[in-house]
Amino acid sequence: MTKRNDIRNIAIIAHVDHGKTTLVDELLKQSSTLDERAKLDERAMDSNDIERERGITILAKNTAVDYKGTRINILDTPGHADFGGEVERILSMVDGVVLVVDAYEGTMPQTRFVLKKALEQGVIPVVVVNKIDKPSTRPAEVVDEVLDLFIELGADNEQIEFPVVYASALNGTSSKSDDPADQEASMDAIFDAVIEHIPAPEDNSDEPLQFQVSLLDYNDYVGRIGIGRVFRGKIKVGDSVTLVKIDGTHKNFRVTKMHGFFGLKRVEIQEAKAGDLIALSGMDDIFVGESVVDSQHIDPLPLLHIDEPTLQMTFRTNDSPFAGREGKFVTARNLEDRLMQELQTDVSLRVEQTAPDTFVVSGRGELHLSILIENMRREGFEFQVSRPKVIVREVDGVQCEPFERVQIDTPEEYMGSIIEALGTRKAEMADMVHTGNGQVRLVFLVPARGLIGFTTEFMSMTRGYGILNHTFDEYRPMVDGSIGRRRNGALVAQESGQATTYSIMNIEDRGTIFVMPGTDIYGGMIVGEHSRENDLTVNITKAKNLTNVRSATKDQTAVIKQPRILTLEESIEFMDEDEYCEVTPESIRLRKQILDKSARLKANKKEK
């Protein structure tokens, strides 16, 4: 079979923060792709505001570079397990992967997750040990760890014979030697390893067409855009082709526009053939996994597997006393339209309407859903969300829940309290390794519901020195009992008004306050965390009675503790079953579902 030696298709995979996106930046800069005038921003591939702020990749991106006459199509993938669905589908488009591993941290939970997916697809790996310039690197041990991981995950002989390149993406240097002094000021070692080891795609462009959609994009002018690979044959603008849907039905359509990728731009093209990665428009309801084939030869590719959601939250219209004050889009129709729009491009998401103003939104994890909420908030939406719940499934007649593999790196002094805290959340320890310098690495298997709300507790427990990573492992039989509920009750406002310094001073001994003086408050809003297990209703709007009697010491300046202002993620973690998080473009408020105190007490009695 002839090969297309002028092209290579690769995906860059790694644990979050091991330097994938920075590496892609350098490959773009050092290839003959961008013109001299083009200024490349740092992490150019992360185009979304939230990606830039958090330094993470959420959506897979594709680009292409030219190196010594070969076009290399590069797909930058997310490292977080919540976006694992993206990684899996991208691997179906490529012939090889560049696995990036941090020269100090070594293999991490998501390294294992993404590599497992890559080996299952049978793609050929090239390993890049990145951040070789950092002090305290251990390249030889890291390569051994990677090899152990390959063997553990059942790699075949061809996959185990992987080439290793040592690099510093930040400095734009690479080399085949693990000595930092031997680094050369170019990325040629990586380019050469890719061209030498990653197989070229087959050139079967004279056979009938087969194209499969792996990613979706959306554009107001042309509607849905299917991004994928031409596996066989040729496709031209103006061709009449057949789309084979997931349910097996056929739809004929005409190709109106095609784009290829080069550098940071999409370039309009007229023709593509086997091995090319392209974006196709003209079909309004094209979906991931579907095949576009020659109308005379209906021969679709196997459907792609998409990971099912493991977590769900209720989204509903805002009905608090402050509803409609701060948002631009506040109605159930606005909410429905926006969620339906999200479904156009995010295939791991599910939306089900359960009442005229209520939607159950299911996703791959807390991060996946909180990023959707944050995006909507920035766009001007105002709504409420409930506490996340795990999705329980029935497997062979047994109720099963998702379990996560959790890896923790922490100073040894915090080990005992971490083991104890996770023990109460029904975790079982899988491994414990002393990594030297007083550090220990712990691996646990934990029910996913036991991790809801654990991050904040973990950070305060380890004083910020601990690193926690987790990834979905498998569904297992349900563990008995309630796990991961909040230990402390809430401080709930009694009436509406503005929070005053005087009242905050009087109640701050009862717990941690979440609001500043002058904040608008309504009855039933949560204004702090109680130091005990029960909820406590407090008057936070009470002003000081002014009299004309003065004493020498009484009126010294009132000083209150700095309140703890919760972020969106912290609010979602803090919430309990009977609470909502009210999200608007300007505020994030926590509230009780039943605002009236006596009605709330009645409901609690009934439940008990």
Binding-site residues sit at 17-22, 130-133
Biggest CA pair distance of the chain: 99
CB 158 within 8 A of CB 123: no
Strands 61-67 and 393-395: unpaired
The angle, 0 to 180 degrees and rounded to 10, between the axes of the packed helices 415-424 and 454-461 is: 160
Cα radius of gyration (the chain): 27
Binding residue ranges for GTP: 17-22, 130-133
Q: Helix or strand or coil: residue 26?
A: helix
Tokens 């093209």, residue located: 269
End-to-end CA distance of the chain: 71
Q: What is the C-alpha separation between 125 and 21, in angstroms, rounded?
A: 18
CB 573 within 8 A of CB 455: yes
Strands 96-102 and 7-14: parallel
Alpha-carbon distance values, 398 to 401, 428, 476 (Å):
10, 20, 9
- Which candidate, 127, 178, 170, places its Cα nearest to that of 148? 127
Q: What is the C-alpha separation between 274 and 3, in angstroms, rounded?
A: 10
Q: What is the C-alpha separation between 424 and 419, in angstroms, rounded?
A: 9
Q: Which residues are registered as beta bridge partners of 401?
A: 476
- Which candidate, 110, 54, 105, 122, places its Cα nearest to that of 86? 110
Return the structure tokens found at 14.
Answer: 């790694």
- Which candidate, 157, 175, 158, places its Cα nearest to that of 166? 175
Q: How many CB atoms lie within 10 A of CB 379?
A: 12
The percent of the chain in helix, strand and coil, each rounded to the nearest 5, is 25, 35, 40
- Phi and psi dihedrals of 444, rounded to 5? -130, 155
Q: Helix or strand or coil: residue 32?
A: coil
- Phi and psi dihedrals of 29, rounded to 5? -65, -40
User: Distance from CA of residue 383 to its chain's centroid?
Assistant: 22
